[in-house]
Amino acid sequence: MTRVLGFLVLLWALGFALFALTLPRPADDRVTDSIVVLTGGPGRLDRGLDLLSRHRARRLFLSGTDRSVRKSELAARTHRPPALFDCCVDLGQESVDTRSNAIETAAWLRAHHYASVRLITTDWHMPRAHADLARVLGRDPILIVPDAVRSQPSLLTLFTEYHKYVLRRFAAPFGY
């Protein structure tokens, strides 16, 4: 029993080290049909808007937006022309967590019949966000391009996110 417990601890430690040392990076400059930005971290929306402004996608979906937020407020806050938001940005206001971000995003992608999406979130959040979106999309032939915003996460942030990721990977096949 001690060997089994020791092996599990070693497996956990190696998994955590791998998770922390291989955080995703920003994607290349390829064109995708759409961009999805998950709210919650600095630099995410700016990254998405920069790519949209440079015509690297047709539309941007901001998933997890508070119901009180308006496009005009975001345009003013980000110093972008309101016309960019009016023509090409959709606000998703139904999600409250990473799992519901994936559900909301998949519905938006399907409604627009997009074949590819650039997923933008913070580097430490990307493994779980990408896995959740891929699981919800299932067999839909939508290419997901992970585009991680670099950060300097604390050890606590990495520790917490690693456990969320592991739990989601184990729970997802059971519908949780």
CA angle 165, 11, 128 (to 5 degrees): 10
Concatenated DSSP letters of 93-128: -S--SHHHHHHHHHHHHHHHT-SEEEEEEETTTHHH
- pLDDT digit string (tens) for 115-130? 999 999 999 999 999 9
**Strand ordering across the sheet containing 89-92:** 89-92, 59-63, 34-38, 116-122, 143-149
Tell me the CATH number for domain 2-174: 3.40.50.620
* pTM of structure: 0.93
pLDDT the model gives residue 173: 77
Per-residue pLDDT of the chain (176 residues; tens, 9 = 90+): 888 899 999 999 999 999 999 999 999 999 999 999 999 889 999 999 999 999 999 999 999 999 999 999 999 999 999 999 999 999 999 999 999 999 999 999 999 999 999 999 999 999 999 999 999 999 999 999 999 999 999 999 999 999 999 999 888 778 76
Confidence at residue 174, expressed as pLDDT on a 0 to 100 scale: 80
Q: What is the pLDDT at residue 1?
A: 81
pLDDT of 165 reads 95
Q: What's the pLDDT at 175?
A: 73
Token pair recorded at residue 5: 């417990």
Would you kindly state where each structural domain of the chain is located, as residue ranges? 2-174
Q: Write b or e for each residue in 32-52: b if 16 or more Cβ atoms lie within 10 A of its Cβ, otherwise e.
A: bbbbbbbbebeebbebbbebb
Nearest of 131, 102, 115 to residue 57 by alpha carbon: 115
